[in-house]
Chains A and B, each alone.
Chain A
Amino acid sequence: MLKIVQLTKTYREKRTPALKDLSLEIPRGQIVGLFGENGAGKTTLMKCILGFHGYVGSITLDGNPISRDNIAKISFATSEHSFFPNLTATAHKEFYAAHFPNFKSKRYEGLMSFFDLPHHKPLKHFSMGQQNQFEVILALCQGADYVLMDEPFAGNDVFNREDFYKVLLGILESNETVILSTHLIEEVSEFIGRAILIHGGELIADVTSDELDETGVTLIDFIKQKYSYRHDRAGRAIRDITGEGDE
């Protein structure tokens, strides 16, 4: 269980906190979508979980604070990429296997083969899409219980992403949790079991897909409701800009 209690993070250069009093419990075996506008605090939340940022509050993994003893239970795939551009895929595999004792070699080979990625080419020569795929492959093969993904598919085409979601559902074991931060809400709505919404650093909604199914509301409509999205916003803006419709 990943437990976050009253997490507050304020960046030195900013007055308002990036995360305010955020509490969450994420048990194993879930695929969680983390949604929010740009600057909502999604990336900050992930970086706090990983210990990259200092914070107020507590974050525990199976009852223990996150430290060098249990950090290998969390992996991270980011659109910024965390691989070494000069290394080949095979060299990455060796590096991960040397540092993460539960590295899943069989899963790695399977995913590399599925996405048809080159083994002996430095990552800097991969296309952006291939780099994203490899970043996610590493996160999924580290042998972590919690896989954090921060906009991992930025730059991948829709078919590519669709394939990945399907593979993800197929390969995940019952004890593995994926926390996926993305703006591609409609696309991932079929694949996630729970949606967490953050707005201005605060948790504004936490709902399971079963709860949404019961109410008959789609995920995108639920999110729009929570964000008080005004449907006529774009139309009014166009009218304001063009002056059409003014009497």
Chain B
Amino acid sequence: MDKSTLRYIMRRLLISIVTLFVIVFVLFLMLKLMPGTPFNDEKLTEAQRAQIYASYGLDKPVLTQFFIYVGNMLKGDFGISFAIQRNMPVAALVGPRIGISFGLGIGAVFIGTIFGLILGIVAALNRNHFWDSFATILSVIGVSIPSFVVCLLLLILLGVQFPVLPVIYNNSAPFKSAIIPMLAMSLGVIANVARFTRSEMIEVLGSEYILLAQAKGISRRRLIWMHAIRNCLIPVITVLGPIIVGLMTGSMVIEKICAIPGLGSLLVKAIEVRDYNVILAISFLYSALYIAVMLIIDVLYGIIDPRIRLGKGDA
């Protein structure tokens, strides 16, 4: 790794940290501006309310509150929940749900990428034949139709009409109940990856070095495996970023539909009852994940293909 690569990574890292800080600040301010309070019990007197505010540190100036919050956050303390589970630490509330949500997401990305790659490559190798049309139709459908729509249709088909899978997430059978949401989430990934891989593969197959390799007389299998596929894999990394981000949004609704006890459903609940600290923690988590994914993909891509960063200051 040369010096400029290192500088590039440092610069991206710095921007990411600043962005994350800005996000936390904006989130914090917005939540302070939010109408309503978690303590709107009518039985509370003014004095009692002031006392509650003081005990949660909500009476201090906003900026002081912010710095206290950030200080605690760095120590891994995200405050306590006001409404969902009164006085329960947010970290304890959020912690067990992270695994469920991320497990689903990673599973969907994994399945989707593998099947998408296979479909895209097969389509590109059999241009204008059955598999190509199949891949094209599937990707148009997968790209256009939101994952929760697919999830609902699958639920009706496999849960209601032919009850082979549970409709509602069952903690005792996590694998069986994860099938429908995972299928629904991976369809979009398959579509996106297949679409991109196909066009990339076609471009690679038409390039001059493939012609040269053919002219050298290497076997078709070797040509495809060693020369074509390897080179079409690199750009596919770039589409994974937006895909993962899209999955995050989609999973929120899917978690609600399938009653999965994940982050998304907790966020929805927290918004409904105005539980500041929970909203902040989950939003922060989502933002951090988003920025981390973007950063990793940018850096990875910058290392694999150094031409990318040239002249692309806004990467």
Q: Do A and B bind each other?
A: no
Chain A residues packing against B (C-beta within 8 Å) = none
Chain B residues packing against A (C-beta within 8 Å) = none
